[in-house]
Amino acid sequence: MKIYSDTAADIAEVAALLSAGEVVALPTETVYGLAADAMNEKAVRRIFEIKGRPLLDPLIVHIHDATQVEKLAEPCAEVTALAERFWPGPLTIVLPKKPVVLDLVTAGKPSIALRMPAHPMMREVLSLSGCPLAAPSANPFGYISPTTAQHVADSLGELAPHILDGGPCVQGLESTILSLLEPETPTLLRPGPIRKEQLEAVLGRAISIAQKGSAELIAPGMLDRHYSPRTRVVIFHDILPDADDKTAWLWQRRPSPEKAALPGTHFWLSEDGDSTTAARNLFALLRQLDVMNFHYIAAQLADESGLGLAIIDRLRRAAAE
Ligand code: TXA
Ligand code: MG
């Protein structure tokens, strides 16, 4: 395995590997992605093999600039407005796809998920390679998404021979996914760093939340258990679960002395409850706790403000049986 750094030579090498059909783990501002040239079927197939990902789970395609939207998808006024405000950034938009897009990338769906990531090294790789990059999160299917290069190395090992190290991800949670398949009735498929209200303000209309079992949620909403550590996670809000010495408490903020006196070991996502900090730390802390042999992780749900909804979504999935 080789870990590449932020030098111009390393970034150029990584871009050349991608152009040549190799799979490379790349940093984004959300989580690390396992990337390949979206137009190269053999390369995309490797992504599914490496992750152990079912072929029915479509991939997000990452682009360098907005002119690529109309090459891959049927654009609309709404995507232009959202792109202007939020791209590059942690927003993925689902649109009707153009025929050039591989069925393998979209899991046979007539739609494509597009995102223009903000991480400067990712943008450089997109620019140098010249290809749109299909990339799911760089974790084995169902496990916690990686927010450092070391996380990728830890969980994929030799399956991921090339990793570009761009430091810890600043957002720490996967992008918000919005479906514009019917622009009149936009639908939120996955809560993330960009909040529904921010999108509604730009669109000037209400966004509905996709219901479990809806056609658009073929994945990953269909798969409740997602982003899961091996250690059992129990979520709580007001009523504290039973605890013993082998319980890990995962608090949203530093616990008060009376909470910190509960049996078990205490960890927190932020000092003061700031949800941006909590989101950034969530996956790294879950990974850390997962190798400490706790009986279970008692995880406090966040408030819904700020990035709280996205944090709650990930904790619920981590706790799903
Ligand atoms: O932040 C992110 O979005 C990260 C980084 C690497 O960009 N990527 C990521 O990919 O989280 P992944 O594969 O872990 O989640 C992608 C999800 C799929 O599981 C699926 O739910 C949704 O995106 N998706 C992709 N194409 C879709 C489509 N055509 N229609 C509906 N949902 C789609
Ligand atoms: Mg994922």
Q: Tens place of pLDDT for every residue, the chain, 321 residues?
A: 999 999 999 999 999 999 999 999 999 999 999 999 999 999 999 999 999 999 999 999 999 999 999 999 999 999 999 999 999 999 999 999 999 999 999 999 999 999 999 999 999 999 999 999 999 999 999 999 999 999 999 999 999 999 999 999 999 999 999 999 999 999 999 999 999 999 999 999 999 999 876 666 655 444 555 678 999 999 999 899 999 999 999 999 999 999 999 999 999 999 999 999 999 999 999 999 999 999 999 999 999 999 999 999 999 999 987
Global pTM?
0.96
Q: Running DSSP on this structure, what letter comes out for residue 168?
A: S
| C-alpha closest to that of 27 among 125, 113, 140, 144 | 125
Atom 10 of ligand 1, nearest CA residue: 136
pLDDT at 211: 82
Which ligand is closest in space to the CA of residue 227?
A: 2
What would you measure as the largest C-alpha separation in the chain, in angstroms? 60
What CA–CA distance (Å, rounded) separates 86 from 118? Answer: 10
pLDDT at 218: 54
Do 87 and 66 form a contact (C-beta atoms < 8 A)? yes
What CA–CA distance (Å, rounded) separates 58 from 38? Answer: 12
From the CA of 139, how far away is ligand 2's center (Å)? 7
Tally of CA atoms within 13 A in the half-sphere of 38 that contains its CB: 29
Do 151 and 32 form a contact (C-beta atoms < 8 A)? yes
Do 311 and 279 form a contact (C-beta atoms < 8 A)? yes
Q: Collapsing DSSP states into helix, strand and coil, what is residue 295? A: coil
Does the beta carbon of 137 sit less than 6 angstroms from any atom of ligand 1? yes
Atom 7 of ligand 1, nearest CA residue: 33
From the CA of 246, how far away is ligand 1's center (Å)? 35
From the CA of 58, how far away is ligand 1's center (Å)? 7
Atom 15 of ligand 1, nearest CA residue: 136
What CA–CA distance (Å, rounded) separates 267 from 135? Answer: 31
From the CA of 206, how far away is ligand 2's center (Å)? 27
pLDDT at 217: 61
Length of the chain: 321
Amino acid identity, residue 273?
G
Which ligand is closest in space to the CA of residue 110?
A: 1
From the CA of 91, how far away is ligand 1's center (Å)? 10
